Amino acid sequence: MGRHGENVAARRLTEAGMTVLARNWRSGRAGEIDIVARDGDILVICEVKTRRGGRYQHPMASVTPRKAHRLRDLAERWIQTHGGAPPGGVRIDLVGVVLPARGAARVEHARGVA
């Protein structure tokens, strides 16, 4: 389910004009960035949360202050590993994917969440 949600999210970001640079980038024990993308001259660190419709909390509610801190740390690690911050800076986005029992996935993209 998570992989499917990430595929849906990557497709949505691409349709919005972004370029996906990496998926599931790991930084040791610090964790993983689901999608790293570029939006013009902005580096976008994207967390993807996928849920089945009606069963659990909305995916957008899953980014706690602790999770936001971890995402900022991972963004810094990406920048250090890949030669510094781009001219437009860094933004952390959240893509929530809800998979209903029938029909197409519902996708919400929140920019600059952390």
**18 in any annotated domain:** yes
Q: Looking at residue 85, what is its pLDDT?
A: 86
Q: Looking at residue 80, what is its pLDDT?
A: 93
**108 in any annotated domain:** no
- pLDDT tens, position by position, 80-108: 999 888 999 999 999 998 887 787 888 99
CA distances for 39 relative to 7, 36, 90, 91, 109, angstroms: 18, 10, 10, 9, 13
**26 in any annotated domain:** yes
**104 in any annotated domain:** no
CA distances for 110 relative to 29, 59, 80, angstroms: 26, 11, 25
CA distances for 22 relative to 44, 57, 106, angstroms: 11, 28, 23
* Pick from 16-20, 97-101, 107-111: least confident: 97-101
54-65-86-37 Cα dihedral, nearest 10 degrees = -20
Q: Which residue has the tokens 């595929």?
A: 7
Q: Looking at residue 62, what is its pLDDT?
A: 73
- The rounded mean pLDDT for the chain is 88
Residues 6+ apart with CB under 8 A from 19: 37, 38
CA distance 104 to 87: 36
Q: Which tokens hold the place of 97?
A: 């994917």
Please indicate whether residue 71 or residue 57 has the higher confidence score (pLDDT). 71
**103 in any annotated domain:** no
* Structural domains in the chain (count): 1
Statement: residue 30 has pLDDT above 90: no
Q: What is the CATH number of the domain that holds 16?
A: 3.40.1350.10
Q: Looking at residue 64, what is its pLDDT?
A: 80
**9 in any annotated domain:** yes
Q: Which domain holds residue 89?
A: 2-93
